[in-house]
Amino acid sequence: EALRPEAANRPYQVTVATFVAASGLSSLYFKTQGQVVTAETVVTTADPGIPFNSVAVHGVSDGRKVYKLFSPDVPSGELLRDMFVNRSSETAQFVWHAYPVLRPSPRWPQFRLHQSSAGSGGLYYVNAMESPASCMETEAVGAKNVALLLLKDLRTRVRGSSGGSLPRAADAPPPA
């Protein structure tokens, strides 16, 4: 418990994945003026007036396309009827907590959660930047920070025990 990062508890985004076999997407629903909907993927913006996040062809079964529909709530039978052409009555649904709802936080957890009694090494938290500013780029920066902190700790340990040294990161040989 003492090693748990100091980060606020946060809610998770509930996402419903619904799988539907159908001949295609409805031109009436997607307002394509009677033209066949040829798109295999439709992605929307976060708009409460749109009842789904995305729909895409996931595969084919018995000559019919299998669509994967992501939505914030379980889609109604009426929505599925209106959205798909010649849809199967069989559907599969999975309701899951897909990812944490992340909002910027004023608290920055430490990259080092615990330091060994020798003063070098310990337990590191790669995702320390996730709470204040979450995106893949900051996760990469956080991972680099932990790698550099670990290298610094390893150098301290090697110097303290044998008087030797580890190569600098820039001097390290390229991976094989």
Residues 75-108 have pLDDT tens digits of: 999 999 999 999 998 899 999 998 777 777 677 7
pLDDT at 176: 43
pLDDT at 174: 52
Q: Which residues of 24-33 are buried (b: 16+ CB within 10 A; e: fewer)?
A: bbbeeeeeee
Beta bridge mates, 42: 55
Q: In angstroms, rounded to a whole number, what is the distance separating the alpha carbons of residues 8 and 33?
A: 49
Q: What is the mean pLDDT of residues 43-48?
A: 87
pLDDT at 42: 92
SS3 state of residue 81? helix
Which is higher by pLDDT, 116 or 164? 116
- Give residue 165's pLDDT band: very low, low, confident or very high (50, 70, 90): low
pLDDT at 2: 63
Q: What is the mean pLDDT of residues 60-67?
A: 92
Highest mean pLDDT among 13-17, 133-137, 157-161: 13-17
Q: In angstroms, rounded to a whole number, what is the distance separating the alpha carbons of residues 166 and 170?
A: 11
